[in-house]
Amino acid sequence: MSSVEEFRTEIRGWLKTHLSGSFAALRGRGGPGREHEAFAERLTWERHLAAHGWTCVGWPKQYGGRGASTAEQIAFHEEYALADAPARVNHIGEQLLGPTLLDHGTEEQKARFLPPIRAVGELWCQGYSEPGAGSDLAAVRTRATLTDGRWVVDGQKIWTSLAHEAQWCFVLARTEPGSRRHRGLSYLLVPLDQPGVEIRPIVQLTGTSEFNEVYFDGAVTDAANVVGAPGDGWRVAMATLGYERGVSTLGQQVGFRRELDALVALARRNGAAADPDIRDRLTRAWAGLEALRAGALRGTDPSAAKLYWSHWHRDLGELALEVCGPAATLAAAAPYELDDWQRLFLFSRADTVYAGSSEIQRNIIAERVLGLPKEPRP
């Protein structure tokens, strides 16, 4: 048996043993559009994972990880999803900030921030998008000034996932007055539990609130809490986005497979599969998911992968309502209780916007991958 198969067998057995007792009820809980589900219990579960060495498996051993290879990390995420284990609450810290600090942080920053991430003692959120700088992230206007050994931060971030549960935020801010676009930005680590921070949840189409507005009004953080050099924040921020679209997406695809299989089963039960158009679209969805997996294993360009999976998932949500028929227009119960297919349809509308809108991904592919001329700017 190869080391990867041994690793896969180990995590599969551990999950089978530990997703039991009080944790058994957490199977399938949480995830996009459902982050409100059993959050405290999922946090307890994640700390249980940490206590047994199953967080940050890809980190080097010297920083508390298992030093797992890429193939082993793929195995972990796939087995976690196949076990229907609850959605992770520490994804942003473990999968985004942690790798960023490993590659770009100082040893002091690693010593301060990595252990609480691995132990799930501190939760993080991502302070990138702003009302006027969402897809066009280089238009960031949140500013920070270094004063008396501290960065003083003023501005507004929006669509900040799980900010209402987080203790820290990594913030892209303009630290060089008069700078424009990609220049003069810095990547700051900012504590949220302080007077200069206000967090306002945003109610979504699903009726839930996992995104937030975050206002900084004289918020402060230590001068040492800048990752990379001041003014070099764009490079660090882009590195973080690359980690966001890494091997954990293989686990995401297992979730997609579960949704597709359930939809096929529903179409067979309610007779929708008798419609040739529905059968054709279900077949195309299956083929698309196979292409997604093949691309992920080959290492598809991150922008191309994001563009493809987000449209695939949005289309699956639309297909789900077609399969459900007229009943899909009715809420399950008052005042606004949604079933899984309605929630999938509504929340997947955001898939092509968050983590980089489709329009921006197309520009990146055209300019950086294909070498086409840049889009004209005023």
Q: Is 244 a catalytic residue?
A: yes
Q: Which two tokens stand for residue 300?
A: 């598809």
Q: Which two tokens stand for residue 348?
A: 């997947």
The enclosing H or E element of 145 equals strand 143-147
- Residues sharing a CB contact under 8 Å with residue 345, sequence separation 6 or more, in sequence order: 317, 318, 320, 321, 328
- Do the Cβ atoms of 78 and 297 come closer than 8 Å? no
In 3D space, the residue among 162, 210, 164 whose CA is nearest the CA of residue 34 turns out to be 210
- Do the Cβ atoms of 81 and 251 come closer than 8 Å? yes
Q: How far is Cα 339 from Cα 328, in angstroms, rounded to an integer?
A: 9
Catalytic residue chosen out of the listed positions 244, 290, 318, 337: 244
How would DSSP label each residue in 43-87? Answer: HHHHHHHHHTT-SSTTS-GGGTS----HHHHHHHHHHHHHTTPPP
In 3D space, the residue among 315, 373, 307 whose CA is nearest the CA of residue 344 turns out to be 315
The catalytic residue positions are 244
